[in-house]
Amino acid sequence: MSDTSTVVLNGYDLTIENIVAIGVGDKKVKLDPEALKRCRASRTFLEQEVAAKRVIYGVNTSFGPMCNKIISDDEIETLQVNLIRSHAAGLGDPLKDYIAIAVLAVRLNTLVKGYSGVRIELLEFMQYMINRRIAPYIPECGSVGASGDLIHLAHLALAVIGEGKVFYGGELLEASEVFASLGKTPMRLSFKEGIALMNGTSAMTGLAAFALFGAKKLLRLSCVTGAFALEIFGGIDDAFDEDLHRVKPHEGQLSIADTIRRLYDGSGNITLRKDMHELIRKQHSDGLVYETSINVQDVYSVRCTPQVLAPVAEAIEQAARAVEIEANSSNDNPIIIPEKKKVIHGGNFHGQSIGFYMDMLCIAISTLCNISERRTNKFLDKSLNEGLPEFLIPGTVGLTMGFMGAQYLATSTTAENRQLAGPVSTNSISCNASNQDVVSMGTVAARKAFKSVSNAKHILTLEVLADLQALSFRNASRLGTGTGRIYKILSSEFTPYDNSGVFHELLVKTRKQLFSSQLFDDLSVYWQ
């Protein structure tokens, strides 16, 4: 039986879900024995090349535009430490400790692939740090994402050699003190190992993994809120008919429509197409139909949910594929391929793929927020909400404000996410004495995407609260199988808002409940 509490790192099959699980401490890591064989072969070949006086970038040469400066054999280890200290030059708030652990895990997985020429001792030391949850202190600002995340990963490497700070046991401490208290000697790096730690895309990839993990939850929840809105307003099933979507067969559209149909299956609230026509006929039995009080179509934020969320679903899927490829790639420089007796200098450290897909993810999340915010507005505006109480609050009009103030949270955060949707991967600025003349800004894009996803959770939290409040007035007893099950879970911890409490407390409680893993595990049957 496999150990589900441990992820075996082999450089080939690390998933977004496991990156997150390692980061938050749900899983530990092991090193694959076959992968270690590849690493030994890679190191042995590199040692042979160094002994043969081959000129190898970053091993016996300096870095960047100084690569024409040859380093003597007795200084090649000092070179690695000097690289780390000089490039540990980030500023800003530190990455969360769980993200720093994830970054460490991604970097370890890329090195264990076997093409970086590092020693087994370094790999085992990184494994120790992950499993003991010794998280490097990594300032958020500094990477241009071209020669990888040089600044971020220099701070990671600083912790490996026992310098700088680390998060341990919930505290920010000196790395040297933490290792001393554990009886662990920090690493003394050999040639190639400093640049192997630093020259890659692991910081942007770790951040991207968390952004995508949250984005997947947001997409699923947006299907739920779309189904809730359809049921609360007695929407027409026409817009979700399978045949309708098969004549415009975007994969995301088909998937979203199918999910929403399964969520409202068995509903007593949906207006069926045949029933709508019959109601109109009864209303105008003389056959002279000039105007009907029955809506023939729902507003776009209800009716067009599959079409709006289609590219969101597809963007998340494409971005996830790119991130998992990056997490399982050798992305430092040079690459060591012992079986072909090659030391190859190249640019696998460039983060353009992550930058591009994180920009795309920001556009997708902004799109998701747009439809969520508009549905919330429909619930609250008395001219649009089809008989629900104004701002979803019963009682003396004007004395109680209900959801009025909370709407500003959704509106302002939606505006912020629209701003974050502007691309940064196109904003290349030459640096490093014009050696890095085309850069990706991939880490900035990943940070932006992580922020966008966090913001979107605020917006969806308010929409769900509006759903629950509206269902306290009508239609809850006739919900579909899926929507009914979800409503039962969520309403067990929900008391309709009556202005007697501070709305912030309700938001905090609901946000935590919504984005727990347990909720999505319980409802996995509804997602493809």
CA 356/CA 354 separation, integer angstroms? 6
- Residue 236 carries which DSSP code? B
CA 461/CA 455 separation, integer angstroms? 10
Q: Write the DSSP string, 34-84.
A: HHHHHHHHHHHHHHHHHHTT---TTTTB-SGGGTTSB--GGGHHHHHHHHH
Q: Is 526 tagged catalytic?
A: no
Q: Is the Cβ–Cβ distance between 365 and 449 less than 8 Å? A: yes
- 355 CB neighbour count, 10 Å cutoff: 32
Strand 165-168 to 171-174 pairing: antiparallel
What's the burial of 524, exposed, middle or buried (CB within 10 Å: 0-12/13-18/19+)? exposed
What's the burial of 412, exposed, middle or buried (CB within 10 Å: 0-12/13-18/19+)? middle
User: Rounded to 5, what percent of the chain is helix, strand, coil?
Assistant: 60, 5, 35
Which listed residue (57, 98, 264, 497) is catalytic?
57
Token pair of 253 as six digits: 């559209």
Integer angstrom CA distances of residue 373 from 204, 230, 444, 446, 458: 29, 15, 26, 24, 11
Residue with tokens 């904003």: 427
Q: Is the Cβ–Cβ distance between 330 and 205 less than 8 Å? A: no
Beta bridge partners of 172: 167
Residue with tokens 């992950």: 130
Q: Is the Cβ–Cβ distance between 273 and 236 less than 8 Å? A: yes
Q: Write the DSSP string, 366-433.
A: HHHHHHHHHHHHHHH-TTTSTTPPGGG--SSBTTB-TTHHHHHHHHHHHHHHHHHTS-STT----BTT
Q: Is the Cβ–Cβ distance between 202 and 160 less than 8 Å? A: no
Secondary structure (3-state) at 127: helix
What one-letter code names the amino acid at 474?
R
CA-based torsion, 140, 145, 147, 148: positive or negative: positive
Q: Is the Cβ–Cβ distance between 368 and 222 less than 8 Å? A: yes
Residue positions annotated with a catalytic role = 57
